[in-house]
Amino acid sequence: MPFDLQSLAWHRSIGKLIMQLDRPAFWSSLVRVLNEYVQIDNWVVLIFTNQQVEVVSLPEVADAEEVNAFIHRYVKGLYLLDPFYIANRENPQSGFFHLLDIAPEYFLETEYYHQYFAHYISADEAQYNVQLDADRTLCISIGSKARFSQEQITILDLIKPWVTALMHQRMAFEVDVEKDLSETPPWQETLTQLGAQITTRESDVLRLLLSGFSNKEIAGKLSLSAETVKVHRRNIYAKLNIKSQSELFARFFVPKPDVFCSS
């Protein structure tokens, strides 16, 4: 549908969303409005914090079991490799963000992309963020099987004030998200098992490597030289007795048998 801020249809849509702020279907209603202007094939509402990611809302879909499995893996550790999470934790702020603007150089070559993003998100992703306080960021992520055009990105950015205002107001009606911290994420469990074998700096380097950042990008983020990053990378591979990033990913982010099975 062609977009016009002055159109009666747009104002009616916003009016209906305001009326639904206190209703369970608010998030799906918001996505339906956005879907009138861009193709949205999947979505999720999350809260980013420094310690974890909390799920606020998910769509009701036919393959719910598969979607829930992906989301479970995401909140149990894969979020650490998410370009949106990384960008937000480095600079927490409200706004509209597009994957193309924040993805690292080698994102399309990562195991995160092949094992999670390509299956669940598909081709493109954009996100509206609302900073709730110093630590928490409310996010609605919208994914598409088709690349968003520049015109669509412009539209999504143009309506940002309405979307983020509605998101902020909605939080007054959200029940506190249940936090399940009883199960240790594979990433943290592996680090604990390794003990002092992997240093804190090496841990930072390997997470950025798995996220798709180049040696130069990692050097900039950690205030190191590119050569030092290479040394850390060699040391990590040697300590873990591995030869590839796929092995590195499996070591830290592939769940052990039965860990993610439904009870």
pLDDT in tens, the chain (263 residues): 566 666 788 889 999 999 999 999 999 999 999 999 999 999 999 999 998 999 999 887 656 676 677 778 888 889 999 999 999 999 999 999 999 999 999 999 999 999 889 888 889 999 999 999 999 999 999 999 999 999 999 999 999 999 999 999 999 998 765 555 445 556 666 666 565 578 889 989 999 999 999 999 999 999 999 999 999 999 999 988 999 989 988 888 876 655 444 44
Token pair of 182, please? Answer: 């009883």
Answer yes or no: are the C-beta atoms of 211 and 81 closer than 8 Å.
Answer: yes
The reported pLDDT for the residue numbered 64 is 67
Sequence-distant (6+) residues with CB within 8 A of 119 are: 70
Q: What is the DSSP letter of 115?
A: I
Nearest to 186 by CA among 248, 114, 262, 96: 248
* One-letter amino acid of 236: I
pLDDT for the residue 182: 45
The upper half-sphere exposure of residue 75, i.e. CA atoms within 13 Å in the direction of its Cβ, equals: 23
Domain with CATH 1.10.10.10 in the chain: 186-253
Q: Which CATH superfamily hosts domain 26-173?
A: Transcription factor LuxR-like, autoinducer-binding domain (3.30.450.80)
Q: Where in the chain is the domain with CATH 3.30.450.80?
A: 26-173
* Whether the predicted model's global pTM rises above the 0.75 cut: yes
pLDDT of residue 260: 42
Residue located via tokens 């799906």: 28
What pLDDT is stored for residue 176 in this prediction? Answer: 63
DSSP designation for 134? S
* H-helix or E-strand spanning residue 130: strand 124-131
**Which CATH number applies to 186-253?**
1.10.10.10
CB 245, CB 209: distance < 8 Å? yes
- The sheet with strand 53-57 has its strands ordered as 53-57, 42-48, 137-144, 124-131, 95-98
